[in-house]
Amino acid sequence: MAKLRTLYDKIWDDHVVDVQPDGSCLLYIDRHLVHEVTSPQAFEGLRMAGRKVRAPEKTLLVVDHNVPTTAEARSHVVDPESKAQIAQLAQNASDFGLEYYDAFDKRQGIVHIIGPEQGFTLPGTTIVCGDSHTSTHGAFGALAHGIGTSEVEHVLATQTLLQSKAKNMRVTVNGKLPAGVTAKDIIMAIIGQIGTAGGTGHVIEFAGEAIRDLSMEGRMTVCNMTIEGGARAGLIAPDEKTFAYLKDRPKAPKGAAWDEAVRYWKTLHSDEGAHFDTEITLDAASLPPIVTWGTSPEDVASIEGVVPRVDDARNDQQKAKIQRALDYMGLKGGEKIADLKVDRVFIGSCTNGRIEDLRAAAKVIEGKKVAAHVNAMVVPGSGLVKDQAEAEGLDKIFVAAGFEWREPGCSMCLAMNPDKLAPGERCASTSNRNFEGRQGFKGRTHLVSPAMAAAAAIAGQFVDIRKWS
Amino acid sequence: MDKFTTLTGVAAPLPITNVDTDMIIPKQYLKTIARTGLGAGLFSEMRFKEDGSENPHFVLNKPAYRKATILVAEDNFGCGSSREHAPWALLDYGIRCVISTSFADIFYNNCFQNGILPAKVSPEDLKKLMDDASRGANATLTVDLERQEIKGPDGGVVKFEIAEFNKHCLLNGLDAIGLTLVKSDKIKSFEDKHNTHAWA
Ligand code: SF4
C-alpha cells in the first residue's frame, strides 16, 4: 500500500529536484512574487555575478509597501528613499524582462492580494516571496512561504530553493462560528493557544467544519497569520470554493487545461489516517471576538475579557514580558478590554483588505458616524478590490461615516509610507502585527477583525460586535 | 560570504523573549537598496531615544558591550517579518553569533546566507550563558563551530546544535547559488517533466 501522505507531503514530493546527503532537498519553485523592499539587493547580486532570471514567466513584480495611499502623494513620492526603491523595482523589471504592476496599474495592490486575484496563485504549486505573509497563498492549497533576500536571489537565479522538510501540524476547527465571530478571530485564537513559536518548524494544515465553511477570503485571513504562530506555511485543501474563485482569473488555466488542473487539484488533500506530528483542535462555537492587548500576536483577549496583570504571570520571564508589553501599550493591567478607547482605526492590509472585509466593515457603520476623537481609514488591498467596492457603493458608506477612502497598498500595516501612528496613539487595526513600533514609533496596536474595527471607529472604543445594532 | 570557524568576543545579554525582526531593524531602515550600513539602525528603537541620542540603559550602549560580537537572547529570536535586513544589521554592527534556545525559521535560514551562526542551546545552558554575558568586561565567550562548543569565561563548555549542511557552508563560507547551479542539469530535466502540467 502506498504511504499515507498529508497535503504538505504531496506538494513537497511533487517538487523535489534533488535530495542531498543530509536529507534536505532542492525544491522547485513554481511562482515567485517580488516587491520593492526585499528585492533590490537580490537583483544587485544577480547583476554582480552576471546571472539572469531563470524563468521570467514564473515571476511577478508589484510595488506595495512604500506607495503612498492618496492619489496626489502617489504621483509625487516625496520620501527620496521610497522613491528610489520604487524606481529600482521598475528598473529591475525592465532589465530582467519581468512582468511588473506599477502604482498606477489597476491590478496593483498588496502582493498577497494580487497573486490570488490574478490566478497566479494556484493549488498544488510552490510559491515564495521575500515576505513572511506569503503564507496567505496556502489558502488555495499551495505550499507558500516567505524567504529572505538571499533566497530571493537564489530563486531568481535557479527557480529552486534548498529546503529541509518541516513537520506536519494540523489545526482542526470544529463546529460553526457564532454570528459576529470571523476568520480573524479563529486565527488569533489559534495563535493565543499555541503561542508565536508554537508552529516553528511546522507547516500547519487547517481543517474542520469551521474552516471549510469560510469563504476564500476568510481562508486567506487564516493562512495569512499562520506566520504569527511561527509556522512558515499554512495550508487548506482546495475544494469547490477554491475552484470557483479561480475559474476565469487571468492567469488561471483555461479550457482543457483547466479541466486537467481541476482533476489534479482534487487529489490534493491529506490521506485519511496520514500522520501529523502535532494535532490541535478548537471549537468554533466557543470563540468570542478577539482583541490583542499587548505587543505580540499571542497576547489575545476576548472582547469580554480584561488586560492581564503582571501578578497573573507564571514565572519571572513571563512577568518581564507582560510588564514590558503593558508599559509599551500604556496599560496598567486589569482594564476591561471593552473600556479601551481608540484614537485611530485602520481597515486594510493583506490580512483584511479584501472585498469581503470591506463589506463586513461597511455593514457595521452604515448610517452611523465615526466618533469625534477618532481618525479612521480604509485602504483597499488592491486596485481591483477598490473598483469592486466602489461598484457596490461601499466607498460612499465609508466616506459618509467619516472614514478616509484610500488608494491600495500596505499603508499603515507597517508604516513604511506616509501612513503611520503618532507616538502613544491607540489603534484598532485589521492588520497582523502588533509589534512595538510596527505601525509607527511608539504607536499602540490592537489587532481585531474588520467588523470589530469598524464598530470601534463608531463607538470610539472597543465594543462587542455580537451586541451591535 | 566570510567563513565562520571560531569566534572569541564579548557577548551581550538581551534577556527578551520573542525578539522580532521589527525590533532588530525597524522599517524606516528597510528603504535602502544596499546590504551594508544597516548597523546604524540595529535595535534603534531601544538603542536611541526619541531625540536621537543614545539610551544609556540599552545593553549595546554600555561601555563593556559596545564591541560585542555575540548576542545571548531568550526564546524565539528573530520572529516576525522575513527581512534579511535583520541579519545584515547584526553583521554590519559586528555581531557574528546569536545564541538562544530557539529561532524563528526564516531568520534562522537568513543567518546562514550571511555567515552568522545562530547557536541553539538548551534552556539550562542559556541560563548559564546569560549569566556569563551579564559579567560586563568579563563577558567573553569562545564559540567553536567545528566542535559545536561555546566556552565561558570560567572555562565551562556548553554544546550547541546545528545541521551538518549548514555547518559545512558556514565553515567554508559557501555561496548557496553557486552550489545549486552545479545542479543545473537536474533542474532542467525536472522542468522538462514538470512544466507539462496544466497547473504548473
Ligand atoms: S499589508 Fe502588511 S503584512 Fe501584508 S505585505 Fe504589506 S506590510 Fe506585509
* Chain A, window 196-215: residues with a beta carbon less than 8 angstroms from a chain B beta carbon: 196-197, 200-201
pLDDT single digits (tens) A1-22:
679 999 999 999 999 999 998 8
3-state secondary structure (DSSP) of residue A361: helix
- Average pLDDT value for chain A: 97
Query: Cell numbers 547583476 label which residue?
Result: A47
Give the span between the Cα atoms of A286 and A389, in whole angstroms: 32
Which atom of ligand 1 has the smallest separation from the CA of A416?
A: 7
Which residue out of A64, A79, A133, A158 would a mutagenesis test of the B interface target, given it has the greatest number of B Cβ atoms within 10 Å?
Answer: A158
pLDDT single digits (tens) A330-381:
999 999 999 999 999 999 999 999 999 999 999 999 999 999 999 999 999 9
B26 contact residues in A (CB cutoff 8 A): 437, 441
Provide the pLDDT confidence category of residue B141 given band limits of 50, 70 and 90.
very high
Could you tell me the residue ranges of all domains in chain B? 6-198
The answer to whether A17 contacts B33, with C-beta atoms less than 8 Å apart, is: no
Which residue out of B27, B36, B101 would a mutagenesis test of the A interface target, given it has the greatest number of A Cβ atoms within 10 Å?
Answer: B27
Give the span between the Cα atoms of A161 and A155, in whole angstroms: 6
For residue B3, give Cα distances in angstroms to B72, B91, B117, B173: 21, 13, 10, 4
pLDDT over threshold 90, residue A317:
no
B184 contact residues in A (CB cutoff 8 A): 158
CATH of domain B6-198: 3.20.19.10
pLDDT over threshold 70, residue A324:
yes
Of the candidates A408, A413, A393, A423, the residue with the CA atom closest to the CA atom of residue A453:
A413
Which residue out of B14, B116, B127, B177 would a mutagenesis test of the A interface target, given it has the greatest number of A Cβ atoms within 10 Å?
Answer: B177
Give the span between the Cα atoms of A280 and A286, in whole angstroms: 15
CA of A65 to the centre of ligand 1 (A): 7
List helix spans (H) across chain B: 21-24, 44-47, 85-93, 105-112, 123-133, 164-172, 176-181, 184-194
Nearest residue of chain A to residue B195 (CA atoms):
A30
Query: Cell numbers 496520514 label which residue?
Result: A274
Range scoring the smallest mean pLDDT among A219-228, A329-338, A411-420 = A411-420
> Mean pLDDT across the stretch B18-33?
93
What percent of chain A clears pLDDT 90, i.e. is strictly above it? 97
Give residue ranges with CB within 6 A of ligand 1. A 64-65, 110-112, 131, 133, 349-350, 410, 413-414, 431-432
Q: Which residues pair with A336 in a beta bridge?
A: A306
The answer to whether B199 contacts A433, with C-beta atoms less than 8 Å apart, is: no
A201 contact residues in B (CB cutoff 8 A): 105
For residue A403, give Cα distances in angstroms to A279, A362, A374, A400, B68: 42, 10, 10, 7, 48
Single pTM value for the model: 0.93
> Mean pLDDT across the stretch A63-73?
95
* Complex prediction ipTM: 0.92
The answer to whether B28 contacts A416, with C-beta atoms less than 8 Å apart, is: yes
Number of H-type helices and E-type strands within chain A: 17, 19
> CB atoms < 10 A from the CB of A323, how many?
13
Of the candidates A139, A204, A213, A138, the residue with the CA atom closest to the CA atom of residue A174:
A213
